[in-house]
Structure 1
């Protein structure tokens, strides 16, 4: 982000903060406070790139979140959405891929502070110790987690989730067997690695194009409790709780603050995601909506 845009975002966030906070408190009193889920990939002070945040930046994020929000797990996010009981501003922390650097600072920090975290792992990379393709393409094949590290994280209370077997783009996959391999069999692999049930799935890339009906059906059939997208959105009560919406934990602190103050433009601009989960659930449309009891959130500036 350019310095000019960053300054503008800082100014907007400061000016809007009192109004947004008042409207968020009103929604919380009604049990309708939006719930945030941020996602990260790699926390490290070496080889910075678009999916890496420094140790100091991550610490600043966590300090801010602990000071101003309740830190909860994905299961609690779902409970609040499903029961329409969201009375506090809350955030859930997640990670994607499975970078080895994360066990040096980020995970010990979260474990020491008792902060819930869901850590989504690409199983083939961990099992075979293969660097991620996007890092190889940049000429920097960064280390991935080992099976032992993933197991230790699980034993320490970190929720381990599935991020496919090979970090695939589901918008380009149409073979049912490949989809099943990347979802159901990847889940089986991961459960064998950690010796416990895997409850959540996160789509690589996580944009609307990747959230295909075929993949979501297999997610449901495989016994997952829910799936995560990554296109940037909030979790609102009375909506579909199976789809967990996340935003990127951007290194720019101003962006994090803007997301967490609940930017109404992002609510209005959220894309519609439709899918069907037979036989237990019917057609689902997961478009951003705010009920009539909280119209002020949608109209905030």
Structure 2
């Protein structure tokens, strides 16, 4: 099934590539080139979970992006959205969770090629070295980045971002105290670890149901510069620059190319986020969403 799907994508790409190139040129000439933000988790040659990509496949993707796109930071993503001018298709690299093995190959590759990169870590796992629950459920606990590793990465030019304190599912958060613990306190703790400001939050799971107004407002109020989703979408002129949209750095190269060459069908299908927090929340939290000035009183 996977082989048939890959073949179908390859065939579609071969047919559509000339048209997509013309479309990208037209968008670029208008200063509206799409901006793609990729997210990865673990780069290693033992793919014992679905969110691992091999070193060879990762380097192939990096080389492809270096050849065909401008590689930019999240700050530059936001600047282009804010100014309403994106002259060339661009890519930004990000990582989620904080796997120790990324320090062996992926991050040195980023540093060696001077590729802007944001590396999101879950602070309590880093602080205590506890493996992630999602790996424990698979029966494969994996080593987590240490404080020393993320500090060294930051000193080498990697931007360290926040992935909450406990890799929380915000769809299950119902109190302002837990929201503050996972974002505000975790941000402060991470800044102490790396001795630098923390500017960005990547929401665990990153689906529309986790991208709640309460989460976004808390991130704004505590001084974060942006918040990243992970449900698969481009960043286009006219989008809110505080919400940075990302899609997976798929190990299947054809699927990644399909995204990066700008698939208009995917853009038409991207979900919209609710402008009200209609999920189950306590009255106290609802009041602080309606009146943000109360959030940290």
Q: TM-score, normalised by structure 2?
A: 0.92
SS of the equivalent of 2:209 reads helix
Question: Structure 2 vs 1, CA of residues 279 and 178 (structure 1 numbering), >3 Å: closer, same or farther?
Answer: closer
1:254 is matched with 254
Offset of residue 48 of structure 1 = 2.9
The Cα offsets for residues 224-270 of structure 1, whole Å up to 9 and x where unpaired, read as 00100000000001221100000000100011100001001111000
For structure 1, the residue ranges without an aligned partner over 5 or more in a row are: 281-301
In structure 2, distance between residues paired with 1:94 and 1:121: 11
Question: Structure 2 vs 1, CA of residues 102 and 179 (structure 1 numbering), >3 Å: closer, same or farther?
Answer: same
In structure 1, distance between residues paired with 2:22 and 2:34: 13
Offset of residue 274 of structure 1 = 3.7
Offset of residue 88 of structure 1 = 0.8
Offset of residue 275 of structure 1 = 4.0
In structure 2, distance between residues paired with 1:279 and 1:175: 15
Question: Structure 2 vs 1, CA of residues 275 and 190 (structure 1 numbering), >3 Å: closer, same or farther?
Answer: farther
Offset of residue 217 of structure 1 = 1.3
Q: What's the C-alpha RMSD, in Å, of the aligned pairs?
A: 1.3
Aligned length: 280
The Cα offsets for residues 179-225 of structure 1, whole Å up to 9 and x where unpaired, read as 11000001001000000000000000000000111111110111000
In structure 1, distance between residues paired with 2:243 and 2:217: 12
In structure 2, distance between residues paired with 1:238 and 1:268: 15
2:242 is matched with 242
Quick check: 1:204 aligned with 2:204?
yes
2:223 is matched with 223
The Cα offsets for residues 99-155 of structure 1, whole Å up to 9 and x where unpaired, read as 001000000000000000000000000000000000011111000000000000000
In structure 1, distance between residues paired with 2:75 and 2:209: 25
For 1:64-213, list aligned pairs within 5 A: 64-213=64-213
For structure 2, the residue ranges without an aligned partner over 5 or more in a row are: 277-288, 293-297
2:4 is matched with 4
Q: In the alignment, is the contact (CA less than 8 A) between 1:83 and 1:238 conserved in 2? A: no
In structure 2, distance between residues paired with 1:154 and 1:184: 20
Q: Which runs of 4 or more aligned residues in structure 1 lie more than 2 Å from their structure 2 counterparts after TM superposition? A: 274-280
Quick check: 1:264 aligned with 2:264?
yes
Quick check: 1:20 aligned with 2:20?
yes
Offset of residue 62 of structure 1 = 0.2
SS of the equivalent of 2:88 reads coil
In structure 2, distance between residues paired with 1:65 and 1:100: 24
